[in-house]
């Protein structure tokens, strides 16, 4: 019989958090506490589960959390997750992406209670990697404040776990796509996943905007596969204290992606601070967590544009 758990999802009303909530409601009997202040998330994303007795929602900033003692596992997703705004609103991003994570980590230390802490990290920490496909041993090369903040949290977890029995897992997501990836009301929506933006513009009969020459390549991973990786990291028996790449193990150019949707596209200037290529080596997650990426980007696109 599966062991039941009481878990916390921060950023539960965001793109990935709400898909993780769907996954855990459907595949477990766990009780789930969710926090979200709707800074970029959306009430609609969680409304389906609001009446569910297994889900307790707090519309609050995560810096108001005063104890983690009731939880077996913390999925920490709350963040301002966009590369370009992190260059402009630097202090706000440090606060959301680093200081708030440290608030939770420090709570574990103060309470001397260490639930499994599953941190949503990013392939952005590799910059433009030298080794393709890229494994977890790749040199870290943060090209943006956002990437650096993700790496700082990883590094703090590693450093602090030399002194305290912290029980953490870093999941380095590559380029997620899937339901709810594009929220038109999100103040930073222009920088959300290119799959979501392209499909939104296609649906609204607008030309797709391809940055640079479109030759930059991305490893697109369906959000349901990310949710499954979080679940497997939560149920792993034993301490991991390590990082996993969570990508599809494949790469395509942004221009190829645009062409998969429509021929109505145009080019706009390249954005600095973004990688030329992401392409995950997912051997470690397969071998250690027993995780696989099951969803196919082409199937998803064909379904959406028909």
Rounded least distance, CB 78 to ligand NAD, Å: 4
Q: Does residue 250 belong to the site contacting ligand NAD (CB under 6 A)?
A: no
Local structure of residue 178 (DSSP, 8 states): S
Nearer to ligand NAD, 85 or 115 (CB): 85
> Which one among 34, 81, 145, 247 touches ligand NAD, defined by CB under 6 A?
81
Rounded least distance, CB 299 to ligand NAD, Å: 20
Q: Does residue 145 belong to the site contacting ligand NAD (CB under 6 A)?
A: no
Q: Does residue 15 belong to the site contacting ligand NAD (CB under 6 A)?
A: yes
Q: What are phi and psi of 22, to 5 degrees?
A: -55, -45
- Cβ(176)–Cβ(16) under 8 Å? yes
Rounded (to 5) percent helix, strand, coil in the chain: 40, 20, 45
Nearer to ligand NAD, 3 or 44 (CB): 44
**Element (DSSP H or E) covering residue 16:** helix 15-27
x/- letters, 192..231, toward ligand NAD (CB under 6 A): -x--------------------------------------
Question: How many Å is the Cα radius of gyration of the chain?
Answer: 18
Q: Please state, in angstroms and as integers, the Cα–Cα distance from residue 228 to each residue in 57, 234, 292, 297, following that order.
A: 21, 10, 9, 17
Length of the chain: 306
Nearer to ligand NAD, 11 or 145 (CB): 11
Neighbour count for residue 101 (Cβ, 10 Å): 25
Q: What is the 3-state secondary structure (H, E, C) of 128-164?
A: CCCCCCECCCCCCCCCCHHHHHHHHHHHHHHHHCCCC
Rounded least distance, CB 225 to ligand NAD, Å: 13
> Which one among 78, 199, 282, 289 touches ligand NAD, defined by CB under 6 A?
78
Residue with tokens 């019989």, as numbered in its chain: 1
191 catalytic per annotation:
no
Residue with tokens 């949503």, as numbered in its chain: 120
Rounded least distance, CB 34 to ligand NAD, Å: 9
- Of 23, 35, 126, 146, which one is the catalytic site residue? 146
Q: Does residue 122 belong to the site contacting ligand NAD (CB under 6 A)?
A: yes
Query: CA 273, CA 42: separation in Å to the nearest integer?
Result: 27
Q: Does residue 279 belong to the site contacting ligand NAD (CB under 6 A)?
A: no
- Cβ(255)–Cβ(211) under 8 Å? no
> Which one among 8, 9, 11, 145 touches ligand NAD, defined by CB under 6 A?
11
Q: Return the range that interacts with ligand NAD (CB under 6 A); candidates 8-16, 159-167, 252-260, 269-277.
A: 8-16
Q: What is the 3-state secondary structure (H, E, C) of 52-66?
A: CCCEEEECCCHHHCC
Rounded least distance, CB 163 to ligand NAD, Å: 25
Tell me which residues in 98-117 interact with ligand NAD (CB under 6 A): 100
Nearer to ligand NAD, 14 or 145 (CB): 14
Measure the N-to-C terminal CA separation of the chain; round to a whole number of Å.
41
Neighbour count for residue 91 (Cβ, 10 Å): 9
x/- letters, 23..52, toward ligand NAD (CB under 6 A): ------------xxxxxxx-----------
Nearer to ligand NAD, 123 or 167 (CB): 123
Catalytic center residues: 146
Residues forming contacts to ligand NAD in the complex (CB under 6 A) are 11, 13-17, 35-41, 61-62, 77-79, 81, 96, 100, 120, 122, 173, 176, 193
């Amino acid at each position: 019989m599966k062991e039941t758990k009481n878990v916390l999802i921060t950023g539960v009303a965001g793109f990935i958090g709400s898909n993780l909530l769907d996954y855990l409601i459907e595949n477990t009997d766990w009780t789930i506490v969710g926090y979200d202040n709707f800074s970029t998330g959306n009430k609609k994303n969680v409304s389906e589960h609001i009446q569910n007795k297994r889900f307790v929602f707090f519309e609050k900033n995560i810096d108001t959390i005063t104890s983690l003692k009731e939880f077996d596992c913390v999925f920490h997703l709350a963040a301002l997750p966009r590369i370009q705004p992190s260059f402009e609103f630097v202090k706000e991003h440090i606060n959301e992406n680093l200081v708030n994570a440290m608030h939770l980590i420090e709570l574990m230390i103060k309470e001397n209670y260490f639930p499994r802490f599953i941190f949503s990290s990013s392939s952005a920490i590799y910059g433009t990697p030298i080794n393709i496909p890229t494994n977890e041993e790749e040199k870290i090369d943060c090209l943006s404040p956002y990437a650096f903040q993700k790496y700082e949290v990883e590094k703090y977890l590693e450093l602090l776990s030399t002194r305290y029995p912290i029980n953490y897992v870093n999941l380095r997501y590559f380029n997620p796509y899937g339901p709810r990836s594009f929220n038109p009301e999100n103040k930073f929506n222009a920088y959300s996943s290119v799959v979501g933006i392209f499909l939104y513009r296609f649906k609204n009969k607008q030309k797709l905007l391809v940055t640079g020459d479109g030759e930059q390549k991305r490893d697109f991973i369906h959000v349901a596969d990310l949710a499954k990786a979080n679940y497997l990291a939560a149920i792993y028996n034993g301490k991991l204290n390590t990082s996993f790449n969570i990508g599809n193990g494949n790469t395509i150019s942004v221009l190829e992606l645009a062409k998969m949707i429509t021929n109505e596209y145009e080019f706009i200037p390249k954005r600095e601070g973004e990688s030329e290529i992401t392409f995950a080596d997912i051997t470690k997650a397969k071998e250690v967590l027993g995780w696989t990426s099951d969803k196919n980007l082409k199937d998803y696109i064909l379904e959406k544009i028909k």
